[in-house]
Amino acid sequence: MGDSLCQEFQEIVSTYLMRHQSVLDIMSKCQESASRVNRAVTKSITSCGCLSVHTHKIPIPETADLSQLKQYYSRHLEGRMCPHCAENFEIEMGKALFYLTALCTALDVSLDDIMAKEKNKVEMLGKFNLT
């Protein structure tokens, strides 16, 4: 079986990461890129207006059990990202993925293994995966 997309991406990131070799540089770039992802979503709401946030306290009946909780929760978003905002979000998310992958590489950890373990955990715990 061939390399997974994660493995291929990790190899490419390892090959082309030039400037940020120190784990400290990579960690700070992870923080910065995560902030830029948040900023891209925020600008979609506050500058463009293609998204809007409508939130309030979610009333959950005391009789609701764990299997019913999902029906009470909401994304609190209305609208869809316009093409410009979606493109900006994708660019910033790509950079965040790049630096997360670089951090895995610097620590000699397989991104593919992390994703497989997390997928298995979510599948195994199902609705009890409340983290």
Structural Rg of the chain based on CA atoms: 19
pLDDT at 130 over 90: no
Question: What integer is the mean pLDDT of 45-73?
Answer: 87
Question: What integer is the mean pLDDT of 50-58?
Answer: 91
- Ordered domains of the chain (ranges, CATH): 5-128 (1.10.287)
53 φ, ψ (degrees, to nearest 5): -110, 130
Among 15, 82, 24, 14, which Cα is nearest to 51's?
82
Cα end-to-end distance, the chain, whole Å? 32
pLDDT given for residue 1 in this prediction: 43
Q: 51 has which bridge partners? A: 79
What is the pTM for the complete model shown? 0.82
